[in-house]
Structure formats: structure tokens, C-alpha cells
Amino acid sequence: MEIALSEMSTQLQNLAKKSILDLQPYQPGLNAKDVGIDKELIKLASNENPIGVSQKAIEAIKSSLENIYRYPPDRPFSLREKIAKRCGVNPQNIILGNGSDEIIELIIKAFLNPGEEVILSEPDFLIYKLAAKAAGAKIVCVSVKNFRTDLKRIKLAINNKTKLIFISNPNNPLGSYLNQGEIEDFLKDIPENVVIIFDQAYIEFVQADDYPRMLEFLDKQNLILLRTFSKFYGLAGLRIGYGISNPQFIDYLNRVRLPFNVNYLAQQAAAAVLDDETFLNQTKEVVSEGKEYICNSLNKLNFFYINSATNFVTIDVQQDGREFCRRMLAYGIIVRNLKPYKLNNFVRLTIGKKEENERFIKALLEIKNG
Amino acid sequence: MEIALSEMSTQLQNLAKKSILDLQPYQPGLNAKDVGIDKELIKLASNENPIGVSQKAIEAIKSSLENIYRYPPDRPFSLREKIAKRCGVNPQNIILGNGSDEIIELIIKAFLNPGEEVILSEPDFLIYKLAAKAAGAKIVCVSVKNFRTDLKRIKLAINNKTKLIFISNPNNPLGSYLNQGEIEDFLKDIPENVVIIFDQAYIEFVQADDYPRMLEFLDKQNLILLRTFSKFYGLAGLRIGYGISNPQFIDYLNRVRLPFNVNYLAQQAAAAVLDDETFLNQTKEVVSEGKEYICNSLNKLNFFYINSATNFVTIDVQQDGREFCRRMLAYGIIVRNLKPYKLNNFVRLTIGKKEENERFIKALLEIKNG
């Protein structure tokens, strides 16, 4: 059925909020269909778990299927309790979301007034900018320094209109992290009018001893930590993440959260994977060994990369990144081009299984020589 | 770990948006734990499918489990195509959400400026009010007339600040519906500055011949229809719903939609259940027969109820509704008290399986005589 557009077009444009008129939807990244490739692909572009799904999660889902016609628990206590235990906090410090992206949205809904300012590092996870733009905020971008978030200059950018500061630590897409001392200095004397969001989506991959002990700051500042089940825990398809903060902050977020935001199978799978130590240890091992292999290989081949605390490595491929990704796709390998982050010659490579990493290096060598 | 609240409390209150300070989270409804009941409960409070889950949906989920570590398709074309075919529209007329609740949020995000007005019927689905309040809108409520949405007075309430009008048809919690003629009259000469949302969450249960053919209005007005997989399709636990509108409207919503908002298993299950004609026909039958039985019984017992086009019946229980629900709970039956909708003596009964309906009527008789 054809639906006429002509007259309604202008009309609708006048009704939409100004802040969305120049918004582009987030681009999830190239896939095979886009370029007519048929072969089985090696997907190293979305930072997913290299070894797949936890069998305990799968079993938990299977045993829950007869109940999916019921609305799920709205604020599942036992899951929050389990997460809290693992983190070293209490259940009332936890709020669950449809991915940690939803927690970002709740924060904006609860705290961001039009005309207020949001400070972002650049580059950093694009969703912060998208979500803040859609809300009509003024966005202040502070460039990284030596591929690391520049906390000093972020602090200098704070003014009396600043409401939110988003910082991913470790940083996506760079892979670098900020240490305990830097975070302490940063948080000292932060003005009271600011809410700081530390996105720790990759924290479970961090091995550094000086990664900041963020929970110690929770009672000193209006601060929230974001975590996800999408990367380390291997549940990206189910959409479940959480925020950790003081109880009043969590309460405000719950007021703007619509009920039943986290689906039942995500809840069941998340609870199960938290207990799957075998899976979690194997994940750590595969990523750690894979990263070592990749970085050694890159060194041998003379490609610069950013030291990474995550499950990905960001590489200077010495040519246009988008072009490089197309050439990789011909080898059946998908990596993430970082042009949307203004890193024109960089790509982000997710650490895969051993054989996947080896295929990547082999293809890289051929592209370099070719 | 204890997290101190005292100083931060006032501080945080000053940072939160004013519109959320007097918000209460949505109350999902009484359950057994709340009153210490241990027996197996008959749940007739949430309008879930009486026969449970489609086996085709279960099979589709099982065969998808090994992929849940991957991010899901972001705007799954084949699912939108399938839905579109069933509705008689095109894929570009469809947007998917984490429940139809999320579509409500996207509409607000894309269209509602602070200070603009939202017109609601009263009573109607509480989520519209919650979401609009959180966004700082001024809410104008128009009481129903004879338990039916009063379209004439809604139209009269439109002024130059009105941006959104939400109407559920059939109405939740009342069960009544607006017919083709009424909708035609209503939409005639609606001012251009208004976006109208018709929530059709219960449309699949409607048997009336004069239920409006809403798709015919899609190209005449800035209109969006909301649908869900939570009731008729038996997937409330998975969280998936959709909106139907003209392509530009859908495009604006997609700009404010964060990626991967619908989880993978919901996508797979929804596609499968749309093909499960056996399940869908059986659902229709069980609800139709159950409603007939319930209404006949209510007539015999002299209880007034609202004629229902849905899978629930709203009943005047001739006593305080909350008290009635507690008494029902002692019989192991959960129904929904409508005091939050200011219908103090009414409860909403979901049509269940035959034996569940019979248990309800038996309990009702005992409560009446008791």
C-alpha cells in the first residue's frame, strides 16, 4: 500500500524536535551482504566474546522457555543481588538496563535539561554523543592526548552549565585506560553540579594493577559506573547491562525507567553466566593469549597499535581505514573502520579465536605486501 | 560496603530534572510474595496469553541459542517484512521496539518539547502518563464517558500547545473500543500540530465488524499505530512490539532509537509465532469462549462489567477493589485492582484457561456470599 508523503513531509518536520533534524542513526558496521560476500565470515568488529556462549547460560534459557508468555520480573532482586555480590556492593546500588545503552538513556532522561552541557572525550563511544544530541544538549568535545582521555582538560572544560561527563575506561575505540592516580586527581574538587558516568564495558578484560578502584569513589561523588553483559559475558544478543551508583541515584533512574525493560531470558542467562567460572576463565585466557599474539605480530610487521586493556586492538593500518576494511572483507574478515571516530587510518580489531587471529595476520601481511 | 548518603542527597536532588522529582515508578501489580501465599497461583492480572507459548517460537529460540553472543540485527528486515505483510503495509512503515512501551518513548524523544501538551483519556494505559510526565509535558486528561474514550472532548481539548494525543483502542483498562465512524469524525479537521498515537495492543482479540480500519488513515494524518507481541502472541517475557506509520515518521523515530534495542531471541520468536496459525487460532478460541463464559456468569451473579473487545473483562466488584484483590489472592487468584486508575470498585480480570475462569467464578461467588 502506497502512503503519500508530499504534504505531510513538511508538516512532520515542523513537529519533530529541532535536535533530531540533523541526527543520523548509529551505523552498526559493515557486513557481508553489503558487499556481496558469501563465504563464512570471521567477525572481529563488534568486540564480542571470542569463544561464544556459556553453556550454563544456554541451559538456563532452555529451562525458562515455557514462561516467556509471562511478563518478566521488573526489578529482579536475586539477579541484582548476584551482581552486587560480585561487584562488592548492595542490590540497591544496581539498576538493570536493556544493554548499558539504556542506562545512558535513563541518566539523560533523569538529569539532562535542555541547554545543559555534556562533556565527552574524543574519540569515545559514539552512543554518548548520539544520545546527548537527541536530547538537545550542548556537546563539548575534548580531544584525547596520546590516545588517552585527557582528564585535565575535561576538568577545565567544566562550567556552570555542565551537567554530565561521560568517560569510558578503558576507552572504546582506543583501548587505553586511566589509572587510579589520574582518577583520584580528576575527581578531586569536581564541582557539585556535575554527574560523572564511567563506562566500564571492558573492565573484565583489564589486567593492570593500577586500574582505578572505582567503587571507592561511589560515596564521594555523584558518580555512576556502567557495566555490560555484552562483551566478556558473551550475551550481546540478549541486551542486558547495569549501572552501579548510590541508592538515591538508582532510585531517580528507576523513576524514569519503564517497567519490564529487561527481557526474561536475558535475566536468566545473566544469572547463569555469572556462575560459569570455566567459561569466564577460558574467555580471559583466549583473549589474553590472542592479544599477545596479535601485538607481537603487529610489532614484527611494523604496524603501530595502541596498547590495549580490552578485548580489541586499535591499529594504524597505514592506509585509508575504510578501504582497508573492504580489502579485509575480500578475505572474509570483518574489522571495524574508525573513520566515524575521525581516526581515518585506524581500524579496531576484536581479539578472536586463535585461528581467527592467525587468519587476520595472514591477510594483513598480504594486504601490506599486495 | 556502606555508601554514605547524607550530603549527596540534596546535591543530587538539585541535579535531577524537576519533572522527575514527584514521579513514582509504575507498580507492576500484586504478587504472592507480597502477601505470603505459597500455593500455585492463577495469574489473571497481566493480560497474558491464556494458553502459554507457541511451540514454534520455542523451537526458533532453541535453534538460535548458539548465536546470542553476537549483537542482533539492528533493524531486522525480514521480520519487518513479515510483520508488514501481515498488516498490509511495507517494511519501511514498521519500527520495532523493546516492547511497544519503547515506541512510546521514542515518540516522546522525537517530538515532545518541554512545555508542550499531551492529551490523554482517563482512564487509559498508565504508561502514557508516566512517560509524558518524565519528559516534563503538561498533561491534559479527558474523562471517558460511559466507559468509552470521549473523542469529541479530546478534540475540544486541543490547543496550539498540544503535540501528542495517546488513545488506546481497545481501551486498557476498560476493554471498550471506538468504531470506524467515531474515528473518522475524530480525525476530520484535526489541527496539523498534533501527532496521534493509537495503541492497538489488543487488536488481535477484536471481533467487531465496525472496528476502525486504521491503516486507511495512515496517509492522511500524522498518526502512528502501536502493536505488541506481549498479549495475543504470548511473548510478554521477551519484550517486542512495533509501530506502524508513514516512512518519514518511522525515520525520525529511528534517529532517536539506540541500536540493537530488540534482543535476538525476541526477533526469532516473533518471526516464528507469526507463522504459528494453530497457536493463534487456539488463542482466539480460548479467549472467545472464556469471555463468553465469564460474562454469562457475571450476568447470572449480577455483577456489572464493561463490554470487552479484548482478552480481559473489567468488573464492578461491588466493594473496594484492592480489598477484593486481597480476598481473591487468598483463593490463589491474582486479578488487577484498578484503584490506580481511580476505578475504586473495579477489577480487571484477564481471560484465562477454562479451569482458571471457573475457579475465578467459584471464588467470586464465595466472596459475594461470604
Question: How far does Cα B123 stand from its chain's mean position?
Answer: 13
At B39 the pLDDT is 65
**Integer Cα distance of B18 and B136 in angstroms:** 8
B258 contacts A131? CB cut-off 8 A: yes
pLDDT at A19 over 50: yes
Q: What are phi and psi of A11, to 5 degrees?
A: -55, -50
Cell numbers found for residue A210: 593500577
The full set of domain ranges for chain A reads 18-52+278-369, 57-273
B46 contacts A53? CB cut-off 8 A: no
Report in angstroms the alpha-carbon separations of B72 from A37, A72, B331: 19, 21, 43
For residue A30, name the pLDDT band (cuts at 50, 70, 90). low
For residue A370, name the pLDDT band (cuts at 50, 70, 90). confident
For residue A32, name the pLDDT band (cuts at 50, 70, 90). low
Nearest residue in A to B9, CA atom = A248
The answer to whether A141 and A171 are in contact (CB under 8 A) is no
Best to test chain A binding among B9, B11, B12, B22 (most A CBs inside 10 Å): B12
At A4 the pLDDT is 47
At A37 the pLDDT is 63
Which alpha helices (H) appear in A147-240, and where do they start and end? 151-156, 180-187
What is the DSSP secondary structure assignment for residue B225, as one 8-state letter?
E
* Mean pLDDT, rounded, for A285-314: 98
Q: Which residue has the higher pLDDT, A115 or A53?
A: A53
Q: At what angle do helices B126-134 and B100-111 cross, to 10 degrees?
A: 40
The sign of the torsion formed by the CA atoms of A77, A78, A79, A80 equals positive
Nearest residue in B to A52, CA atom = B69
**Integer Cα distance of A146 and B242 in angstroms:** 45
Contacts of A15 in chain B (CB under 8 A): 111, 163, 193, 195, 222
pLDDT at B325 over 60: yes
Facing residue for B265 by CB, picked from A70, A131, A238: A238
Cα–Cα nearest to B70, from A39, A187, A6, A41: A41
Cell numbers found for residue B288: 472467545
Contacts of A262 in chain B (CB under 8 A): 239
At A26 the pLDDT is 72
Contacts of B89 in chain A (CB under 8 A): 1, 3
Q: Under DSSP, is residue B243 helix (H, G, I), strand (E, B) or coil?
A: strand
Determine the distance in angstroms separating the CA of B83 from the nearest CA of chain A, rounded to an integer: 14
pLDDT at B26 over 80: no
Using alpha carbons only, give the angle B334, B280, B56 rounded to the nearest 5 degrees.
Answer: 100
- pLDDT tens track for A245-297: 999 999 999 999 999 999 999 999 999 999 999 999 999 999 999 999 999 99
B266 contacts A263? CB cut-off 8 A: yes
Other CB atoms within a 10 A radius of the CB of residue A355 amount to: 9
A248 contacts B9? CB cut-off 8 A: yes
Biggest distance spanned by C-alpha atoms of chain B: 62
pLDDT at A331 over 50: yes
**Integer Cα distance of A151 and A167 in angstroms:** 9
Contacts of A110 in chain B (CB under 8 A): 16-17, 20
- pLDDT tens track for B245-295: 999 999 999 999 999 999 999 999 999 999 999 999 999 999 999 999 999
Contacts of A135 in chain B (CB under 8 A): 109
Averaged pLDDT score across all residues of chain A: 93
Nearest residue in A to B273, CA atom = A69
The proportion of chain A whose per-residue pLDDT surpasses 70, expressed as a percent, equals: 94
pLDDT at B201 over 50: yes
Best to test chain B binding among A11, A13, A58, A68 (most B CBs inside 10 Å): A68
A238 contacts B264? CB cut-off 8 A: yes
A256 contacts B23? CB cut-off 8 A: yes
The radius of gyration of chain B's CA atoms, rounded to the nearest angstrom, is 21
Place of cell 464465595: B366
Report in angstroms the alpha-carbon separations of A54 from A50, A87, B171: 11, 20, 43
Amino acid letter at A203?
I
For residue B25, name the pLDDT band (cuts at 50, 70, 90). confident
Contacts of A68 in chain B (CB under 8 A): 53, 57-58, 61, 234-238, 269
**CATH H-level superfamily of B18-52+278-369:** Aspartate Aminotransferase, domain 1 (3.90.1150.10)
ipTM, two decimals: 0.95
Q: Under DSSP, is residue A168 helix (H, G, I), strand (E, B) or coil?
A: strand
The proportion of chain B whose per-residue pLDDT surpasses 70, expressed as a percent, equals: 94
Contacts of B15 in chain A (CB under 8 A): 111, 163, 193, 195, 222
- pLDDT tens track for A208-246: 999 999 999 988 768 999 999 999 999 999 999 999 999
Of the options 3.20.20.70, 4.10.910.10, 3.40.640.10, 3.10.20.600, the CATH number for the domain spanning B57-273 = 3.40.640.10
pLDDT at B364 over 70: yes
For residue A3, name the pLDDT band (cuts at 50, 70, 90). very low
Backbone dihedral region for residue B36 (phi beyond 0: left; psi -120 to 50: alpha; all else: beta)? left
For residue A185, name the pLDDT band (cuts at 50, 70, 90). very high
**Integer Cα distance of B257 and A131 in angstroms:** 9
pLDDT at A126 over 50: yes
Biggest distance spanned by C-alpha atoms of chain A: 62
Catalogue the E-assigned strands of B172-311.
195-199, 223-228, 241-244
CB-based contacts of A258, cutoff 8 Å, min separation 6: B26, B99, B101, B102, B104, B105, B127, B130, B131
Amino acid letter at B121?
S
Contacts of A88 in chain B (CB under 8 A): 1
The proportion of chain A whose per-residue pLDDT surpasses 90, expressed as a percent, equals: 85
Report in angstroms the alpha-carbon separations of B33 from A76, B39, B200: 13, 10, 32
pTM of the model: 0.95
The answer to whether A161 and A154 are in contact (CB under 8 A) is no
Best to test chain B binding among A33, A69, A217, A220 (most B CBs inside 10 Å): A69
Contacts of B259 in chain A (CB under 8 A): 25-26, 28, 101, 127
Determine the distance in angstroms separating the CA of A109 from the nearest CA of chain B, rounded to an integer: 7
Cα–Cα nearest to A155, from A195, A199, A192, A190: A190
pLDDT at B169 over 60: yes
- pLDDT tens track for B71-130: 999 999 999 999 999 999 999 999 999 999 999 999 999 999 988 999 999 999 999 999
B66 contacts A1? CB cut-off 8 A: no
Determine the distance in angstroms separating the CA of B136 from the nearest CA of chain A, rounded to an integer: 10
CB-based contacts of B366, cutoff 8 Å, min separation 6: B331
Nearest residue in A to B192, CA atom = A11
pLDDT at A35 over 80: no
DSSP string for B9-50: HHHHHHHS-GGGTT---------HHHHT--SPPEE-SS---T
pLDDT at B37 over 80: no
Best to test chain A binding among B27, B68, B94, B133 (most A CBs inside 10 Å): B68
CB pairs under 8 A between A and B: 276
pLDDT at B5 over 60: no
Cα–Cα nearest to B111, from B222, B260, B22: B222
**Integer Cα distance of B18 and A113 in angstroms:** 9
For residue B23, name the pLDDT band (cuts at 50, 70, 90). confident
- pLDDT tens track for A40-76: 899 999 999 999 999 999 999 999 999 999 999 998 9
Determine the distance in angstroms separating the CA of B319 from the nearest CA of chain A, rounded to an integer: 28
The answer to whether A326 and A336 are in contact (CB under 8 A) is no
Nearest residue in A to B218, CA atom = A3
Cα–Cα nearest to B221, from B192, B248, B200, B178: B192
